Amino acid sequence: DGGITQSPKYLFRKEGQNVTLSCEQNLNHDAMYWYRQDPGQGLRLIYYSQIVNDFQKGDIAEGYSVSREKKESFPLTVTSAQKNPTAFYLCASSYGIRYGYTFGSGTRLTVV
């Protein structure tokens, strides 16, 4: 079955460490997105990529980095520069704005 796989589901890291969240899709979608969700707030866009080897900053990109070396994969690195990294992270993909979006099951990151 086609879909988006995010791993791991839960992730714990010590403060000051970089951590990479995985997002893989087998839907042949061109566009991929990373969102952050905090309690009581709507999802906010971190980074997005519309084609391989190209990506753009979203609304809250500071302290995060991404790569898009393959169409299927869009990993997100939470760096030590991110001041408040504990959150729920969602990955999504799309053929384009006329076709809707598919979301992953998310990764809950806790930094202690």
Q: Does 5 bind other proteins (CB under 8 A)?
A: no
CA distance 26 to 97: 18
Taking only Cα atoms into account, the Rg of the chain, rounded to an integer number of angstroms, comes to 13
Site string for other proteins, 42-71 (x = CB under 8 A): xxxx--x-x-------x-------------
Name the phi and psi angles at 36, rounded to 5.
-115, 140
Residues 10-29 that bind other proteins (CB under 8 A): none
74-93: which residues touch other proteins (CB under 8 A)? 88, 90, 92
Residue 11's DSSP bridge partners are: 109
Total binding residues toward other proteins, as defined by CB under 8 A: 28
